[in-house]
Each structure stands twice: as structure tokens, then as C-alpha cells.
Amino acid sequence: SQTIHQWPATLVQPVGSPLSLECTVEGTSNPNLYWYRQAAGRGLQLLFYSVVIGQISSEVPQNLSASRPQDRQFILSSKKLLLSDSGFYLCAWNTLRGGAGELFFGEGSRLTVL
Amino acid sequence: AQSVAQPEDQVNVAEGNPLTVKCTYSVSGNPYLFWYVQYPNRGLQFLLKYITGDNLVKGSYGFEAEFNKSQTSFHLKKPSALVSDSALYFCAVRDPGSARQLTFGSGTQLTVLP
């Protein structure tokens, strides 16, 4: 069965510091990978997605970047965090091969920028 | 374009009573529809999906959803609510005829009162 791992679960960082959130998927190959942010409140904002290794699509301009160094690894980064980067970050994966394309989410990373 | 609306930010229901969480959608073709649940500080969990066929879809934890094409709705239901059902619920839609990703609603906070 497929699993998705996301870490760290909680992170407190000062403004101006770098960020690296990691996500890995096991039990499948060539997944589509996604980073979402959920700000205080509830809405999900799609930040980045990748359908193949080395290719990243950005949905909104921002202080963050994403990379996919391996097929099942997705990394969210920032060189200098802003207060507005605080939020709950969710990694997800799906496949459109023979299915409806439902997303499967990691447990999330809570980032607080002080 | 595809979109989904959850008209209620908050739904309160007494334990043991039936619950309904509303969702309406807009896509150009036949939709794929999904429901997810999110507990505090956790990732989204997939509950159920509609692709085609029977309009009543059964999912995890006793939840079901009814697809109504004429009303473009996909309401989530459960015959008898539990306190443990209290959580944030998201509806999502995907147009299978396009390469677009899932579009999520804004979420509905369900509170089941003991």
C-alpha cells in the first residue's frame, strides 16, 4: 500500500531564516506531487505541483520554492522566511492512471514564523 | 473552469441525529467528486468519491454522499452523527476531461453536540 511521509511536523523559525520541508511517497511510482498551504481559517491554497521529476509548476508567486530531486520526494523551501509564511503545509500525491485522481495527504507541517 | 461551493461555514447537529454537509459544483463536463475530512492539526483524509454509476456513494466511517446532476450537488450525509465526527469537511471536484487538478471548497466545520 502507498504511504506519504511529511516532516518536520512542527517548526518554529525566526523571520529571515531558511526553510526546508520534506515529503516522500512510498509504494507507488511516478506520482503527481503537491504542496498546499492552509492558513488560519480553513481554505487550502495550492502552492506547487509536479507531474514528473525535475518539473515544478507554481500556482502563486511567493517567497517559497519547491524541488523534486527524486521521483517520490518533494521539498518545499525558502531562503528567507516572512511572517506571512506561517501556516499549515500539506504535501499530497495522486495518480491519474486509471483512477479518479483523488489526492492523498500527509499529516502536515505546522510552521510558525516569529 | 471548475469550482465548488460549500455554503455553510459551520454545521451543528446533536449526537444521534442525521447530518448533512452541503456541496455544489460547477464543471463543463461530468464531474469527479470527492469528500475529505480533517481533524485538528492533521492532514486531510479521503472519505469517498463519485465517478459514475449509482448516485448514492458509500464511504468510510458510515458516511455517504448523494450525487444530484440536475442540482449540481454532492451533499455528504450520515444517518446518525457521533461526537467523534466533529471535524472540518472539504468537498472537491475534478473535470476528468481536463488536466486540471482537484478544486477544493472552503470547508465546513461540523460540530456534533453530545
Strand-pairing partners, residue B33, are: B50, B93
Give the tens place of pLDDT for each residue, A48-101.
999 999 899 988 878 899 999 999 999 999 999 999 999 999 999 998 777 788
Task: Give the mean pLDDT of A27-32.
Answer: 92
Give the residue-averaged pLDDT of A41-51.
Answer: 88
Model confidence over A97-113: pLDDT tens digits? 777 888 999 999 999 99
For B80-104, the pLDDT digits (tens) are 999 999 999 999 998 877 666 889 9
Instruction: State the Cα–Cα distance between residues B97 and B32, nearest whole angstrom.
Output: 10
CA distance B32 to chain A (A): 7
Q: Which amino acid is at A40?
A: A
- Whether B43 sits inside 8 A of A105 (CB atoms) is yes
Residue B85 phi, psi (nearest 5): -80, -10
Summarize pLDDT for A4-22 with one digit per residue, the tens: 999 999 999 999 999 999 9
Q: Is the pLDDT reported for residue A1 higher than 90? A: no
- A interface test, pick of B102, B108, B111 with most A CB neighbours within 10 Å: B102
| pLDDT, average across residues A15-35 | 95
| pLDDT tens sequence across B20-75 | 999 999 998 889 999 999 999 899 999 999 998 899 999 999 999 999 999 999 99
Interface subset of A 51-80, CB within 8 angstroms of B: none
Q: Which residues contact A63 (CB under 8 A, 6 or more apart)?
A: A78, A80, A81, A82, A84, A85
Q: What is the mean pLDDT of residues A16-38?
A: 95
Q: Which residues of A70-98 are buried (b: 16+ CB within 10 A; e: fewer)?
A: ebbebbbebeebeeebbbbbbbbbbbeee
